[in-house]
Amino acid sequence: MRGTLIFAGSSCPTLTGKICENLGMAPADAELTQFSNGETSVRILTSVREKDVFVVQSGSPKINDTIMELLIMISACKGGSANKITAVLPYFPYSRQSKKKSHRGAITARMLANLLGVAGVKHVITVDLHASQMQGFFKCPVDNLHAEPLIARWIRHNVPNWKEAVVVSKNAGGTKRVTSLADALKLNFGMVTTDKKRGTNMTASMIMNHLDGIERHPLLDSISNQVRTNSSGPENGIPSADSGHSRPSRPVVDAQGSPRRANGPPLRTSNNARSPLTRAQTTLSQSSAIDELDEAELDGPEYNDRRAHEVTHGRLVQGHIVPDDFPSPATSAADASITEEDPMTMSHASSFFAPTHALGGTGADAPSSDEEEEILKNPKVEHMITLVGDVKNRTVFIVDDMIDKPGSWIAAAETVVKRGFAKKVYCIATHAVFGADCLEQMQACDCIDAIVVTNSYPIREDKARNASKLVVLDLSFLLAEAIRRNHYGESMSPLFLHMGD
């Protein structure tokens, strides 16, 4: 393309090469090195004056170096009088730190957005932002592309009997992403949710599945919370409150978005048990503040009384499903004694009682996967894992936006196979971060049949070679098309549409 230069950051020369190949041009010349003291050095070896410059940079294990390199490249191009600089970030770094999780935590994603602006970016192209609200952090336009059409197409072409499959979310926060894929493929969906279990209060006597509402915000955190505050035996199995309503309803949002009951009084029999005082006693401190925030946001005013029809429970010890007669690990006597000290938490708890929540909940409000993983790994704590939805003898797609740590994926896969009796399990994500030995662990897991990711985040070749289950979809066409359309001022909308084949 005339007047266009595409620079490759050191994190993703291969992806950039493919993008350039698609556009019929060569990547622009730049020398990226480090000084001996660790400072990043950038030399732009071709004139950028009055050019339309694109800088492609993904993530890498040395993420902060990668970011500095990107900022310095942008700054150098700006100093070299480039006409317009676009940052192409297939994986947006720090995207999981997009909100103030704890008191006095940083909103790093917003800071990074500001830094990009300061360096001289006029436009940002990215793929599947962890939270699409992050577009608002930027002063410049952001094109948040979706890998979903690509993934949906791959499923249609490569998965036998995909029409019988079920899309499963592995946590409550990611449910929105999952419903979107389920809608696109017109499939049923279900979800898996994990909750810490204490002592003997073992199961749910009442489980509600708040699917939907006008904006279709699954209020599934309530399941786990009910579990927490009830102490009847595990044998009850089917929610007792459900019996009053013996109307079996599908726990899944069906793809056509059929009308559903959004009326009816909120049947929260145990509301009293959720007073801040009681919570403080029963809540383990580790993630409670976050939980409460999430509930506050997820619990909208539009309760409905649809119940989960298919709710399956499992016990999770050290990240794996165990049989029901498995001896309970040293239950968290020590942990349980830690109660909330911070008075601020109370105000969060009380916000739960607020009549309405103006903004509603979003899929991005789940505890970050890192926190989740920490909880899963604690050997002293046994977890209750709950599967909502019928996956028996079906193929299951477990979907999230990124794969970083393996624990929750493996737990979800084991749940749908060992408890839900699913036939096959595909783990699908856009960003294949694969921290530590994540890929190896997922490869070794018998319950996972395939791992489907895109090349938005560079995957180490030696790792990929040893992972027979790994399928990498190529994003370069999508990104190349986005760059081309950007350069010529054409509409981006066709890139969001699902291809009809």
Q: Which residues bind another protein (CB under 8 A)?
A: 35-44, 47-48, 59, 61-65, 67-68, 71-73, 75-77, 79-80, 93-94, 96-97, 100, 102-108, 110-111, 114-115, 117-119, 370, 404-405, 433, 435-436, 438
Q: Which residue lies nearer to another protein by CB, 73 or 182? A: 73
What is the closest distance, in whole angstroms, from the C-beta atom of residue 408 to another protein in the complex?
Answer: 13
User: For the residues of 106-157, what is the DSSP string, one character each?
Assistant: --HHHHHHHHHHHHT-SEEEEES-SSGGGGGG-SS-EEEE-SHHHHHHHHHH
For the bound state, the minimum distance from the C-beta of residue 46 to another protein, rounded and expressed in Å, comes to 8
Give the residue with the Cβ less far from another protein, 19 or 289: 289
Closer residue to another protein in complex, CB, 51/146? 51
Residues 415, 417, 418: CA angle, nearest 5 degrees = 70
Return d(Cα 13, Cα 66) in angstroms, integer. 13
| Nearer Cβ to another protein (64/158) | 64
C-beta of 103 vs 157, nearer to another protein: 103
The least CB distance from residue 100 to another protein, in Å, is 6
Of residues 86 and 312, the one with the C-beta less far from another protein: 86
Instruction: For the CB of residue 436, give the shortest distance to another protein in the complex, in Å.
Output: 6
For the CB of residue 112, give the shortest distance to another protein in the complex, in Å. Answer: 9
Residue 104, phi-psi category: left (phi > 0), alpha (psi -120 to 50), beta (remainder): left
HSE of 269, CA atoms in CB hemisphere, 13 A: 14
Instruction: Tell me the one-letter amino acid at 295.
Output: E
Phi, psi of 87, rounded to the nearest 5 degrees: -90, 125
Largest CA distance in the chain: 74
Tell me how far apart the alpha carbons of residues 146 and 245 are, in angstroms, rounded to a whole number. Answer: 40
The separation between CA 151 and the C-alpha centre of its own chain, rounded to angstroms, equals 15
Q: Give backbone dihedrals phi and psi of 134, rounded to 5 degrees, phi first.
A: -65, -20
Q: How far are the Cα atoms of 165, 183, 240, 408, 438 from residue 188, in angstroms, in the given order? A: 7, 8, 25, 21, 28
Return the number of the residue (42 or 253) whose C-beta is nearest another protein.
Answer: 42
The minimum distance between CB 66 and another protein, in angstroms, equals 8
Q: In the bound complex, what is the minimum distance in angstroms from residue 40's beta carbon to another protein? A: 6
Q: Which residue has the tokens 């489980």?
A: 207
State in angstroms the smallest separation of the CB of 368 from another protein: 8
Q: Which is nearer to another protein, 118 or 333 (CB)?
A: 118
